[in-house]
Amino acid sequence: MNTSEVEAPAIRAIGLWTGWGRGAGAFPADAAVAAAGRPVLSLGRAEDADPRLGAERFRRATRECLWALASVGAMLEDGGAAREALAGARTALVYVTAAAYGASNRAFIESSGSGTHFAYTAPAVVAAEVAIEFGFAGPSMVLIGGAPATIQGIWHAATLLASGACDRALVLAVELFEECADLYVRAGRACSRPLVEAAACVWLTPGEGRLALDAAGLGRVGADSVRRRLGETFACEPLAALGVERAAGRGARTLCGSWRGQTAALSW
Amino acid sequence: MWRPDRVAVTAAGVVTPIGQDVDSFWSSLLTGADGISTIERFAVSDLRVGRGGEIKKLTRVKDWNGVPDCRATRLLVSAADELCASAGRPIPVDPHRLAVVVGTALGGVGEGERALGGDGRRRRLTGALYDAPAHDLARWLGARGPVLTVSTACASGASAIGLGADLLRAGVADAVVAGGYDALCRFVMRGFDALRSLTRERLRPFDRRRSGLLLGEAAALVLLRREADAGRQRLGTVLGHASTGDGSHIAAPDPDGRGLQRAIAQAMTHAGVTPAQVDFVSAHGTATVLNDRIETAVLKRALGERARAIPVNSIKPTMGHTMGAAATLEAIMCLLAGRHGVIPPTRYLEEPDPECDLDYVPGTARTAPCRTSLSTSLGFGGQNAALILEAAPA
């Protein structure tokens, strides 16, 4: 067993946007049925969801950056907190994505892009945009991968909180597919479940009890039901599952996910 | 369960423009080899700068059977092949307890270029995701434990070692192959060319004439074990680490280097090391005007008077900035320097910048005791990382 325990963090708030709409309440009962053959469910423009993101200072930011900002904004609303609550060097950020950088990579490869365009191809720049906008500068980590990477990201955030390296930790995940939809179809990724764009952020604070990581995912429970409702969201799936629990008024219990033959699970 | 164990580095493997094993890499650093050349593997004639640290031919692995035709993966497998020559293949640990944690700035983006350039093979598309090479490496190693890809840009190789050490301390794995890699490709050359970050001259860290960096490709891996499990064979110990964000600018470092200073302070606290105990600093030292000045100021603030008393070097002039691999290569260099008591020079530093006024080991390698070292790294997105390392005796 690749299991380990750490002090469990508390979930202060969750911000969640998906191609189905805002929050877990927008999820259909069955994503494949609701998608009605559409291979990709787009989030669309972040500026339409959050008009503040139409400001001049965001004119160069990519769609993945803007949706990251939108999910943090939604998280603050969920927690009834002002943005100042995140400011400072005691806020950690763990950003996870499997593929959100694909859009900016493709745009740069297929154009005669500028240096600014190139900078935005780095996944770390999504984390930077969020940190700049909300004024924090604490521990930082960027992980690439699907749901197990997010589970490891939540675990990493919990260890940062438990060790006193930060007072609060955000775990952020963004996945966009629209710009590369043809490539996903070619790669056979868009098949039984639609690819559903998503951006989610969870705010963790020191909590009570224990959090157990099963890095081999042997306690696999629940992921399929979320995926059936939500569709394929790669790294966003565990955070969406937390959103479902929160919307139902339940605390977090077990999270699990799989990707490239790897599985991982967390139990509160 | 969290264990207080220290984490040992028990084996290493590298592939670089100045050597395709640790011994030749080390001797090239000491003798001042130059791995910079005109890039030949893809078109660069339309770019301002077409030179870099390109590995002309991967010579170590003779049989690529079962290894995808992906440059990044093959760099990783080359480094892993050397690591396994001393650690064993398969690495003698339960495969489910063997983790892989590698850092990269670019992942398999070269595969994406090929896919968009008309190569219709499905492998090109799945290989374009940044975590593909790590999973390829895990398959080659037979590792069945966690496989993680870190992308804190050019600090990735340090962040990966830190995260790998955490997996051991948490008891999630019993052995971790950790490190970093990146392959040169047109994507990154075009990008840095557009940023005007590349120099047409030599890469001269801390020199008043410095005018930018050159890129290189490499992979570097270390095998991490809890000290209690490490046996006698070891290169050294990871004493502490930290990764921070600036929250300042998407591409440029914070002008005051506050994030880097916090990373150094947190890594030293984690290690239980004071400035007086630091013998040597491996700097990020990219030779950009901003980086070298900021890094110098941060080292003075973080280490106080000690900063002026200890040697600081940058090995990037010899092979270019190898991005995701850089920090792991520099960590291995620190352990070798401590073991042998010799510090590789900062090549091409000839006219010191008055604002960069530390001892950067110009000219030739220097004999000096340097058992405990600090390695600093910075990357796009205001990412910073610091490692505190202790070399094992020879």
Q: What is the pLDDT of residues B68-119, one digit of tens each?
A: 999 999 999 999 999 999 999 999 999 999 999 999 999 999 999 999 988 8
> Does some domain include residue A258?
no
Residue A264: phi and psi, rounded to 5, are -155, 155
Interval B350-369: pLDDT, tens: 999 999 999 999 999 999 99
> Does some domain include residue A153?
yes
Q: Does A139 touch chain B (CB under 8 A)?
A: yes
> Does some domain include residue A263?
no
B191 and A137 within 8 Å at the Cβ level: the answer is no
Q: Does B170 touch chain A (CB under 8 A)?
A: yes
Could you list the residue range(s) of the whole structural domain that residue A161 is in? 7-207+232-252
Q: Does A90 touch chain B (CB under 8 A)?
A: no
Interval A105-151: pLDDT, tens: 999 999 877 777 899 999 999 999 999 999 999 999 999 999 999 99
Which tokens is A22 given?
């805002």
Nearest CA to CA, how far is B261 from chain A (Å)? Answer: 11
B131 and A144 within 8 Å at the Cβ level: the answer is yes
Interval B24-53: pLDDT, tens: 999 999 999 999 999 999 999 999 999 999
> Does some domain include residue A110?
yes
pLDDT value of position A217? 60
A99 and B129 within 8 Å at the Cβ level: the answer is yes
Of A161, A192, A157, A194, the closest CA to residue A173 belongs to A157
Q: Which helix (H) or strand (E) holds B86?
A: helix B71-87
- Beta strand A140-144 with A91-97: parallel, antiparallel or unpaired? parallel
Q: Which chain B residue has its CA at the smallest distance from A100's CA?
A: B129
**Count of alpha carbons within 13 Å of A243, Cβ hemisphere only?**
33
CATH value at residue A88: 3.40.47.10
> Does some domain include residue A1?
no
Do the interacting molecules here have an ipTM over 0.95? yes
B107 and A122 within 8 Å at the Cβ level: the answer is no
Q: Nearest 5°: CA angle at A215, between A213 and A218?
A: 90
> Does some domain include residue A100?
yes
More confident residue, A225 or B154: B154
> Does some domain include residue A217?
no
Q: Which residues pair with A63 in a beta bridge?
A: none
Write the CA distances from A210 to A9, A39, A202, integer angstroms.
8, 39, 18
How many distinct helices (H) and strands (E) make up chain B? 12, 14
B102, B172, B182, B197: best to mutate for the A interface, most A CBs within 10 A: B172
C-beta of residue B288 within 8 angstroms of C-beta of residue B197: yes
Q: Does B151 touch chain A (CB under 8 A)?
A: yes
Q: pLDDT at residue A163 above 60?
A: yes
User: What is the widest separation between alpha-carbon atoms in chain B?
Assistant: 59
Q: Which residues pair with A162 in a beta bridge?
A: none
C-beta of residue A5 within 8 angstroms of C-beta of residue B172: no
First-to-last C-alpha distance (Å) of chain B: 33
B100, B109, B131: best to mutate for the A interface, most A CBs within 10 A: B131
Is the pTM here over 0.95, yes or no?
yes
Q: Average pLDDT of A83-108? A: 97
> Does some domain include residue A139?
yes
Q: How many domains does chain A have?
A: 1
Mean pLDDT of chain A: 93
Residues of B in contact with A186 (CB under 8 A): 120, 122, 125
Catalytic positions of B: 154, 284, 321
